[in-house]
Amino acid sequence: MGIKDLIRLIKNVSLFMLSLQERALTMQLSIFLNKNKKYMAPKGVTLSFSSESIKKDKLNNEVKAILKKYKNDKESLIEFIAKNKTKVFKIKDANKLLEIIGEEQGLIPSHTGLKAFYLNYILYRKLSFKSDTVFIIEDAESDIYYLIQQFHRWYFMMNNFKGFDEESQTLLKKVAKGNEDSVISKLKPSQISGLQFAIARDVESITFVTNYARETAGSKNAMNKIANGLGANI
């Protein structure tokens, strides 16, 4: 899914939620891009984005510093992830194998159930219905901007940002397939909030890598790659 599709999804979710007054939830893209300090959440929950915005800026600067240090070198980024409590796997035909369970290469948060069973089998040849967070990439040449986007998601997850839990990520994939209204209408307020966080994390990662490419590359070819390739994991 590209940036335009993601914006459409967020707007659709916003309109639907506003029609449910008892669960009013503003989900505008401007919020996810930190243009506002507060948003309306399910009754009884009010979140302030003032301190969170500062933390996001700090983490974005840290990611930029890491990318600068390693000069956008893919192997160095992968090694950095592996040294920081996340196992990295290079797998031939990774996307084909992951497509079976509705995943794509990059960051894959922990799962339970059949998806976890499948991941454990292809990665470790072990049988378990609970999997750890892993980072899976194609054992071949991969696009640096896609890797940076996934690195950004991983970095935010490791810094305890919300939206990477199994339920929220599963809901994100469901609404991305369409029929958002029918999916969201069945959700509890806590699930809606989790979905919002999951969408926010992907918007932030896409925004980061788009701005980063403009700052460092600035080429039309690089921007076309981003527009056509990022956000596919949702």
Q: What is the mean pLDDT of the chain?
A: 79
Contact 169, 109 (CB under 8 A): yes
Query: Has residue 119 been placed in a domain?
Result: no
Query: Has residue 57 been placed in a domain?
Result: yes
Is beta strand 134-138 parallel, antiparallel or unpaired with respect to 106-108?
antiparallel
Environment class of residue 166 by beta-carbon count within 10 Å: exposed (0-12), middle (13-18) or buried (19+)?
Answer: middle
* pLDDT tens track for 162-183: 999 999 999 988 888 877 778 8
Query: Has residue 196 been placed in a domain?
Result: yes
Give the pLDDT band of residue 142 (cuts 50, 70, 90): confident
User: Letter for the amino acid at 88?
Assistant: V
Query: Has residue 213 been placed in a domain?
Result: yes
The per-residue pLDDT for 153 is 97
Which range among 36-40, 96-100, 228-232 shows the weakest confidence by mean pLDDT? 36-40
CA angle 225, 178, 100 (to 5 degrees): 70
Number of domains making up the chain = 1
Query: Has residue 39 been placed in a domain?
Result: yes
Query: Has residue 220 been placed in a domain?
Result: yes
The tokens describing 218, both together, are 């600035």
Question: What pTM, to 2 d.p., does this model score?
Answer: 0.76
Strand partners, 147: none
Give the pLDDT band of residue 218 (cuts 50, 70, 90): low
Mean pLDDT across 216-221: 61
Which range among 149-153, 201-205, 226-230 shows the weakest confidence by mean pLDDT? 226-230
Query: Has residue 96 been placed in a domain?
Result: no
Domain limits for position 162: 3-72+143-229
The per-residue pLDDT for 191 is 92
Q: At a CB cut-off of 8 Å and minimum separation 6, what does 177 contact? A: none
Cα–Cα distance, 192 to 132 (Å, whole number): 24
The per-residue pLDDT for 76 is 96
Query: Has residue 117 been placed in a domain?
Result: no
The per-residue pLDDT for 226 is 53
